[in-house]
Structure 1
């Protein structure tokens, strides 16, 4: 009986320890962590931890929504900016849905502009309602397209150095060097659901930038541009100037490395 009681005691200790470990998955700020180390940065109830134009962004039915209406007078692209830091190496997972005429994106390692409210400049995982560009790497207010969907690229330095706009041609960076085809652009498009939920997964490490949609690698950039590349900065969701549209986000998780 003594041995049985001891084993029972050990069993109870194991259960208690397991429960404590599960409780530790929630940080002091209330952000839940899953088994892979991803931290939730949206509580599905409020805009806590985010900053943006309240006329554009709201929380509704557990979703983070950015919307333009016919009455919206938006002069420049606007962002909902995460206030939790300026991530360097990280992974981000987020589910998104966008209307047909929508234009949006996820900026990262970006800088804030002082003269325009809620504006970011930097790398962007593109999202659009017609899925023409969704998944590509587009640098907002800077070098423009760094990799189209279906491309692995190396970004070469400016030679000779000069103004950024001098090195942009047809909305793409002239230093873009195609190193590998990841797949046919239209075939990859067929893997993205129109006006339905999709998942964007960003894997950002050093100068290596990968954009996955629904588990498929859509674009990949190795940024060798010593002058213009960035290794840290703000994270934010975009609403682009344009016609009435709506973009929604949910299940927003980040894992910093």
Structure 2
């Protein structure tokens, strides 16, 4: 007798199931312009000329530009991009940013996947157990796999997956973080970090994606996302 429900027999990781669960990839950077991005709290205004497009990459040439954020907000998603940091540099990929004037910076609401020159920037040795090194969930969790980053001046491939209240971070194919995005475990992580008592930090399950202006040169390219 034929199976009346063949879909039920699909493996959870089969191509058919993945097509059902995942949306289409969307390019967040066309390699030529900053279309789809704006400076935090300055939607509709010109982006600082310190954020440039250089050889197919978004390039922050110097500090004072403000964080760059997507025009669109995202909840559950898979995000991929490549980044390169200058010697001694610091930046970050911040997600679930709630853009509201009462929050003066993206990091007041959004958690951060750290972008850093581990060899030269002092942040790498601050915090606890490497929880401020490249690829980590900044100041919240030590890396699942330490030392995944390439040296300053080399391209790193970052991947961030947020789905059903859980998150995973990868750097150069290695998992660097895994955590819930809400609930008791998340609250405990926040309570033991520099973000303890911050009104809006980590409270939003949807928001903008930001590229941080930390005052140092940084490059981002091949940025794409798909909603889950």
Q: What TM-score do the two structures reach when normalised by structure 1? A: 0.60
Matched, 1:194 2:151: yes
Matched, 1:211 2:191: no
Displacement of 1:78 in angstroms is 2.9
Q: Decide whether the 8 Å contact of 2:106 with 2:210 is kept in 1.
A: no
Pick the aligned partner of 1:124 from 108, 112, 116: 112
- For 1:8-55, what per-residue CA distance to the aligned partner results, in whole angstroms no more than 9, with x for missing partners? xxxxxxxxxxxxxxxxxxxxxxxxxxxx83221111111111112414
Displacement of 1:236 in angstroms is 1.0
Query: How many residues matched?
Result: 170
Pick the aligned partner of 1:238 from 202, 205, 212: 212
Q: Decide whether the 8 Å contact of 1:106 with 1:126 is kept in 2.
A: yes
Alpha-carbon distance in 1 for matches of 2:87, 2:172? 19
Q: Decide whether the 8 Å contact of 2:97 with 2:106 is kept in 1.
A: no
Alpha-carbon distance in 2 for matches of 1:193, 1:224? 33
Displacement of 1:206 in angstroms is 2.5
Quick one: structure 1 residues 50 and 211, their matched pair in 2 at CA, closer, same or farther if it must change by over 3 Å? same
> Which one has a larger percent strand, Structure 1 or Structure 2?
1
Matched, 1:48 2:22: no
Displacement of 1:111 in angstroms is 1.2
Alpha-carbon distance in 2 for matches of 1:116, 1:231? 16
Q: For residues 52-131 of structure 1, what are the structure 2 equivalents within 5 Å?
A: 52=39, 53-68=47-62, 74=64, 78-83=66-71, 85-114=72-101, 119-120=106-107, 121-130=109-118
Q: Decide whether the 8 Å contact of 1:81 with 1:118 is kept in 2.
A: no
Quick one: structure 1 residues 81 and 118, their matched pair in 2 at CA, closer, same or farther if it must change by over 3 Å? farther
Q: What TM-score do the two structures reach when normalised by structure 2? A: 0.67
Q: Decide whether the 8 Å contact of 2:90 with 2:214 is kept in 1.
A: yes
Pick the aligned partner of 1:224 from 160, 183, 186: 183
Alpha-carbon distance in 2 for matches of 1:209, 1:116? 24
Q: Decide whether the 8 Å contact of 1:104 with 1:128 is kept in 2.
A: yes
- For 1:49-86, what per-residue CA distance to the aligned partner results, in whole angstroms no more than 9, with x for missing partners? 11124143111111101122xxx5x3xx9310111x21
Matched, 1:254 2:190: no
Moved segments of 4+, more than 3 Å? 115-120, 225-229
Structure number, greater radius of gyration: 1
Quick one: structure 1 residues 109 and 116, their matched pair in 2 at CA, closer, same or farther if it must change by over 3 Å? closer
Q: For residues 145-224 of structure 1, what are the structure 2 equivalents within 5 Å?
A: 145-150=139-144, 183=145, 188-189=146-147, 191-195=148-152, 196-222=154-180, 223-224=182-183
- For 1:173-212, what per-residue CA distance to the aligned partner results, in whole angstroms no more than 9, with x for missing partners? xxxxxxxxxx4xxxx31x3211200100001113211110
- For 1:191-242, what per-residue CA distance to the aligned partner results, in whole angstroms no more than 9, with x for missing partners? 321120010000111321111001110011123148853210111100114x
